[in-house]
Amino acid sequence: MKTPALHGWRRFAASPLLCFGLAWLLTQLDVVERVEWRTLDWRTNVRVHFQPPPDPRIAVVLFGDATEMNLVAWPPDRAVHGELINLLTLAKPAAVIWDVILDASREGGGDAAMARAANIARRSGVKVVTASVTNPDPAEAGAEAERGPTEPLRHVEGEITRLLGDADALRPFPALRKESWYGFADTPAGEDGLRRRIPLLVRVGEAVYPSLALQALLTYFDAPADAVRVRLGDAIYLPTKDRGELRVPIARDGRFLLNYRYDQNEAGPDFPTYGYGELMITLTDQLVNNVPSVRPPPRLDGRIVFIGQVVTGKADIGPTPRNPAAPLVLVHANVVNNVLTGDYARVAPGWAVWLGALLVGYGGLALGLRRPIAVEATFTVLVVACYAVLAFAAWIKFSLWLPLLGPIGGFLALQFTVIFRRALAEQRAREQVKQMFGTYLSPVLLERMMRSGRNIATVSSERRPVTILFSDLRNFTSLTESLRDDLLIAQLNEYLEAMVECIHAEGGTLHKFIGDAVMAVWGDLASEGVAIDAQRAARAALAMQATLAQLNAKWQGEQKPPLAMGVGLNHGVVLIGNIGSPRRMEFAAIGDAVNLASRLESLNKELHTRILAGENLQPLLAEAFQLRPCGSLPVKGKAQPVRVFELLGSAS
């Protein structure tokens, strides 16, 4: 016979594979992917309260509304930018990164002033990098040939057609291009409007160029483009003098998964940030005029200074994981911070995540098939909560991205499937219990079985110590000859109904009617101990005789004949189980103790008694009931005489 657990395994064995397989397919949908990104943003915002400060080598300068109102409107004459470069050169940063497109030449002396300032900075050891963007149409003839110190990356392994790019580009104006480097500021937003996967490599025609952030790193580490190795789908290998070769992971399309941490929203540590106009005034006072400033002097020596603009109505801003409208220059600053600190966002291997989910799913099945549904539901809540906490902790502590929706969705689908199917099975079991036992099981025991979810198939055959009661009417055959059939059936039903109530009131199981005879058992399905079972059976027998006396008094007034009844009680070990065919099953007790109970009932007629009990009951009833020894009597089917006792009543 298959055990219930084995049967459950066979029913649910494929469920984890189906549920997690469906969950994996759903994660491939764009809408689910967007929600998954959003869950990562929640983790990013929680992480703010635990993250360390950014790399101190990065600073940010913003041209905002205060500069436009107090100094110059955006876009200013390029001579103003040149003046800021001159001041920054005195502050001795390692590199000045302009997240500003300065492509077309302008009339006047502004272009020459800015180019001259970039030349001075370059000769002073300060690298100036400006922004470029891809463009389908040539912006100026010969721009590719006159690219200045900027060089394409030549050692690229992989299919460069996967890279973001176009036929041409908008580069810095020629005079500036000769004196400074440029990198590509292309950072297209994803479907949800956020910049999450940042191109570090950009294709212009057939050439591959570094992004603005990557060019900032190249200039900071004095790494020539020709020394950089690129393996698409693996990493960019960046040579440095002090740290050896840095490995920057990228996808096959040259994009970098941004680990966005620092944002100008006043929550948590951030990049040191200065206003464009305020910085010019401060540096002029301190470095040119030697006038003490109210504010402490900015520490920019050896740093990478990013410059962007956030003028209202003209701002280069966009949504980020931490801010609905942040300066986009912070995207490049965060990329550089990731590389300088080795703080890369890592995605947990998909095979490990899904394999772990499957193992937990099967573990839940093994645990839950033998437990109540409430326990399984509690287990489900705990697993989901623990995994969510693990996913948040992994991102906060290790920048490890564990997907939430897929594994949790698959696990919930599995648990709901199992719980739903188990609930249906238990409901069917309850109905089977009602059908099987409802007519002869006491209401208390029936409710107990239904609460436990026992199925009739689980009532296995086993030997149990029980107390058996047999009752039978005296001279019922002659009564059937003197009464009309309808009156006889009505009186018999009234009698049997009253006897069953007495049995059920004491927690007995009604096993069967044999004509006018009744068989009941205590301890077959539930037991409170052999002594208590025996005493409850004895009380039921006494209650049956008392109830019959009340019925006889009632029937006398109705001109109906009185009835007399004998009861036999016995205790012993019997075989309990379902007997019959699949079409009709009957719950039965089989054994010598059952036969003896029936024989004792028959002896009542010979001994002129009402209730007889076998010798096995004497030690179980002696303290609580009055028993009169009737001697040892021969009993049909027994080789030796049996000691018999008459049950007279309660000891009290």
End-to-end CA distance of the chain: 49
Q: What is the DSSP string of 307-349?
A: EEE--TTT--EEEETTEEEEETHHHHHHHHHHHHHT---EEPP
| Helix axis angle, 4-12 to 405-437, nearest 10° | 140
Both tokens assigned to 249: 């992971």
Helix (H, G, I), strand (E, B), or coil: what is residue 464? Answer: strand
Between CA 44 and CA 483 the distance in angstroms is 90
The C-alpha angle 245, 251, 255, rounded to 5 degrees, equals 90
Measured in whole angstroms, the distance separating CA 14 from the mean position of its chain's CA atoms is 19
The torsion angle over the Cα atoms of residues 109, 111, 114 and 116, rounded to 10 degrees, is -70
pLDDT at residue number 372: 77
Between CA 630 and CA 615 the distance in angstroms is 10
- Sort strands 229-231 and 155-157 into parallel, antiparallel or unpaired: parallel
pLDDT at residue number 266: 73
DSSP collapsed to 3 states, 478-505: HHHHHCCHHHHHHHHHHHHHHHHHHHHH
Is residue 484 exposed (0-12), middle (13-18) or buried (19+ Cβ within 10 Å)? exposed
Both tokens assigned to 596: 């003896």
Beta bridge partners of residue 291, listed in sequence order? none
Residues 6+ apart with CB under 8 A from 10: 2
Between CA 141 and CA 175 the distance in angstroms is 14
| Mean pLDDT, each 10-residue run in order, the chain (652 residues) | 49 81 92 93 93 94 94 92 96 96 81 95 96 85 68 95 93 93 94 93 95 97 95 95 93 96 83 93 88 76 95 88 91 97 94 92 78 81 94 95 94 85 72 60 60 52 92 83 84 92 91 89 89 95 95 91 94 87 76 92 92 94 93 84 93 79
**Quick one: the chain helix, strand, coil %, rounded to 5?**
45, 25, 30
Q: Supply the pTM of this predicted model.
A: 0.70
The domain limits of the chain are 4-33+350-433, 48-341, 439-650
Between CA 621 and CA 650 the distance in angstroms is 9
100 contacts 310 by C-beta, under 8 angstroms: no
Looking at this protein, which amino acid is placed at residue 322?
Answer: R
Q: Could you tell me the sign of the dihedral formed by the alpha carbons of 528, 531, 535, 538, in that order?
A: positive
Q: What is the DSSP letter of 286?
A: I
Backbone region of residue 12 per phi and psi (left: phi > 0; alpha: psi in -120 to 50; beta: other values): alpha
**How does 415-453 read in b/e, with b if 16+ C-beta sit within 10 Å?**
beebbeebeebbeebbeebeebbeebbbeebbeebbeeb
Q: What is the DSSP string of 147-212?
A: -TT-----EEES-GGGSEEESEEEPPPHHHHHHSEEEE------TTS---EEESEEEETTEEEEBH
Q: How is domain 439-650 classified at the architecture level of CATH?
A: 2-Layer Sandwich (3.30)
pLDDT at residue number 451: 61
43 contacts 392 by C-beta, under 8 angstroms: yes
pLDDT at residue number 551: 94
Of 542, 549, 563, the C-alpha closest to 624 is: 542
- Sort strands 317-320 and 323-327 into parallel, antiparallel or unpaired: antiparallel
